[in-house]
Amino acid sequence: MRTSTTGRAIVGAVAVWIATAIALEIGLRIAYAPIGSAFDQWLGACEQAQPPTPLHHAPRPGPAPKRLGPSTAYGQLGGWEYVETYDQRGIKYSSLRPQEGTGTIVLFMGDSFIEGYDDANTVPQRAYEWIVQHDSRSRPLIVLNAGYSSYSPVIFTVQAQRLLPVLRPDLVVVDIDETDLFDDAVRYRGLIARDERGKMVAVERDPSRQALVDGCARAGQSRSYLVRAIATLWYRFRFALLDWRERRGERLFAVGETRAPNMSPELQMQMRYFSSTLDELFSTLKEYLPADRILVVRHPHLRHLQTDHEGHPLLSRQAGELVRAAAARNGVAFFDAQDELAARFDGEPQRYYWNAADMHFNFDGIRAYGELVGREIARKLDHDG
């Protein structure tokens, strides 16, 4: 009798669970327009849920909705929404300037500082506008933006092998900053794949992250709305946990924060390795175009323009000087915008960056840096004829 009662209780509980699942599935289907699409959108963009790429990570082709964070971080622009569109090659589309046809092709490579935001607010766009306004050349100018979040010289090296034979640019502009040292020497160092000649051919994903990406992609293909909803919550949690584990010990600016006499052996090793990846990048670029058609640019972060109580910059230029030295070794032009931006910012650099939590230029900072880069591009094109 007791067994029969227990059995009925189990059956009843299972029935309740099944009924609840069915009800939730029906409810999600009814509410799909406002809710389900959000699940699909996140799963579709789930850490670039696509087959592995030799670039470690890559933008998904097509339009992608973006949104700035809260007003506490971004002021009046908090919550601002825009759309970013990349093509199959990893080129960010812009409706505000020519993207194809006959003309002088300038290709930008960089990280999120070059990627920017909407069509108007990117460094390549502001550079293009400056050139068009100040240069009298008759040949059309085509400026392409291949910048993407957390790209660095090792990824640029692989990216160049894929893009330059196809695009055949007249000038390549590479933006390299302090975060690239850490990315190359720590974040991506163990993920580099080389061919039998020792040539870098890929920056692979960490296996644990790739497993999550694959699972997320499979979940997004489920016909069940309930499964997709649960998967969204689960994979958001798993990615957040993985990001926290990876970044909790990160010191992106360790070299810049340390004065030369106090540099540890580990940081010295990172600096030497970064110098080697820069040499490999410039060597790779020169396989496809002459050295005089390469321009390396550097921008400061906010703390480069701020000082401590003794008047010392909060961040040194040591990483930037490594870039300068590598450019000189390889016969490549180098432009450091720090001094000119410091003068333009007139003692108030904080007005040109978002905030301490977001290291990037705000729209005024993008314009200021983009105009300087545009001037340097125009000089380079005029000099090279």
Fill in the amino acid letter for 179: T
Q: Do 178 and 301 fall within a single domain?
A: yes
Residue 153 belongs to some domain of the structure: yes
Residue 159 belongs to some domain of the structure: yes
CB-based contact 179:304 (threshold 8 Å): no
Q: Do 100 and 174 fall within a single domain?
A: yes
CB-based contact 67:80 (threshold 8 Å): yes
Indicate whether 129 pLDDT > 90. Answer: yes
CATH number of the domain at 348, please. 3.40.50.1110
Q: Do 257 and 353 fall within a single domain?
A: yes
Q: Do 165 and 22 fall within a single domain?
A: no
- Rounded Cα distance between 278 and 260, Å, is 20
Domain span at residue 22 reads: 2-30
CB-based contact 90:159 (threshold 8 Å): yes
Indicate whether 48 pLDDT > 60. Answer: no
Q: Do 26 and 131 fall within a single domain?
A: no
Tokens at 174, concatenated = 């590479």
Residue 30 has a pLDDT of 56
Residue 187 belongs to some domain of the structure: yes
Split into its structural domains, the chain has a count of 2
**Residue 289, C-beta contacts closer than 8 angstroms, at least 6 positions apart:** 164, 169, 172
Residue 242 belongs to some domain of the structure: no
Tens of pLDDT, residues 297-309: 999 999 999 999 9
Tokens at 65, concatenated = 């909705």
Residue 228 has a pLDDT of 72
Residue 63 belongs to some domain of the structure: no
Burial class (CB in 10 A: 0-12, 13-18, 19+), 256: buried
Q: Do 18 and 101 fall within a single domain?
A: no
Residue 7 has a pLDDT of 64
235 vs 287, which has greater pLDDT? 287
Q: Do 151 and 22 fall within a single domain?
A: no
Q: Do 25 and 96 fall within a single domain?
A: no
Phi first, then psi, for residue 234 (nearest 5°) are: -65, -50
Q: Band the pLDDT of 2: cuts 50, 70, 90.
A: low
Q: Do 10 and 119 fall within a single domain?
A: no
Q: Band the pLDDT of 246: cuts 50, 70, 90.
A: low
Residue 174 has a pLDDT of 99
Indicate whether 227 pLDDT > 60. Answer: yes
Residue 217 belongs to some domain of the structure: no
Q: Do 154 and 19 fall within a single domain?
A: no
Residue 37 belongs to some domain of the structure: no
Residue 228 belongs to some domain of the structure: no
